[in-house]
């Protein structure tokens, strides 16, 4: 079941006044057995879209990635949340990271989520967002899958215990493979749990093959974190 959600985050100032609000629309998918099976706690996957899907039209978010997958795979074995980034932001912006974190905590609180199996993935701008959110809250996730993105190598010390599978197209001219590779090298040097897949013949779209591959989801589900 793919539905539409709306989350409003309020940030309180020092005087207790409302400094700003971010209205975050999102697509929300529940597995077909969620309501019939009252005892199961489900894994949760967060998907962050790319630059071209920003705005206020959630139909755009359905074009690529996890929302595209769940349109045809009703037995997709995750709860999935796919927020939409407003046009004036990118996922790496502090306000957006705060808003997505707020949304995730709300979903975890209100649904039967297996907190040991919460995952984050994204493509292009969402790949950058995946790196940034994982560095912000490494304790929240069991694994991360950034696709054709990049991050800050200075964050690898907080990321080194998080399983990360990185994907990129070897012919990508929009986000150069070096953006992923500098993170992979930094994590390897720090002793991180990183795996890197480079598609030699792929351009910027390295996500279609990745999200169509059942091995990715098997790998995610094998990774659990210690429940706090």
Question: With contact defined as beta carbons under 8 Å apart, do 121 and 28 qualify?
Answer: no
The CA distances from residue 227 to 103, 121, 152, in Å, are: 19, 20, 27
| pLDDT tens string 52-89 | 999 999 999 999 999 999 988 878 999 999 999 999 99
Residue ranges of E strands in the chain: 2-12, 18-29, 42-48, 79-83, 113-123, 143-147, 164-169, 194-199
- Nearest 5°: phi and psi at 150? -170, 165
Q: Give pTM, 2 decimals.
A: 0.90
State the pLDDT confidence band at 3, using cuts at 50, 70 and 90.
Answer: low
Least confident of 16-25, 34-43, 186-195: 16-25
How far apart, in whole angstroms, are the C-alpha atoms of residue 76 and residue 54? 25
Does residue 151 carry a pLDDT above 60?
yes
- At 13 the pLDDT is 31
| pLDDT tens string 22-39 | 779 999 999 988 988 888
């Amino acid at each position: 079941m793919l539905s539409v959600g709306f989350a409003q985050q309020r940030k309180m100032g020092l005087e207790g006044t409302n400094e700003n609000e971010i209205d975050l629309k999102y697509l929300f998918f529940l597995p077909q057995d969620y309501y019939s099976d009252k005892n199961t706690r489900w894994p949760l996957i967060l998907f962050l879209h790319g630059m071209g899907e920003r705005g206020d039209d959630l139909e755009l978010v359905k074009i690529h990635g996890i929302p595209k997958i769940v349109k045809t795979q009703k037995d997709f074995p995750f709860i999935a949340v796919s927020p939409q980034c407003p046009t004036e932001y990118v996922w790496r912006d502090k306000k957006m990271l705060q808003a997505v974190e707020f949304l995730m905590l709300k979903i975890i609180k209100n649904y039967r989520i297996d907190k040991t199996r919460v995952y984050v993935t994204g493509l292009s701008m969402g790949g950058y967002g995946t790196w940034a959110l994982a560095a912000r809250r490494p304790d929240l996730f069991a694994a991360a899958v950034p696709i054709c993105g990049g991050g800050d190598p200075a964050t690898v010390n907080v990321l080194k215990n998080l399983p990360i599978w990185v994907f990129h197209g070897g012919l990508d001219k929009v986000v150069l493979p070096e953006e992923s590779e500098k993170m992979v090298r930094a994590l390897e040097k720090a002793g991180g749990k990183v795996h890197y897949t480079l598609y030699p013949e792929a351009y910027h779209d390295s996500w279609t093959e990745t999200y169509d591959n059942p091995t990715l989801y098997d790998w995610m589900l094998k990774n659990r974190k210690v429940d706090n």
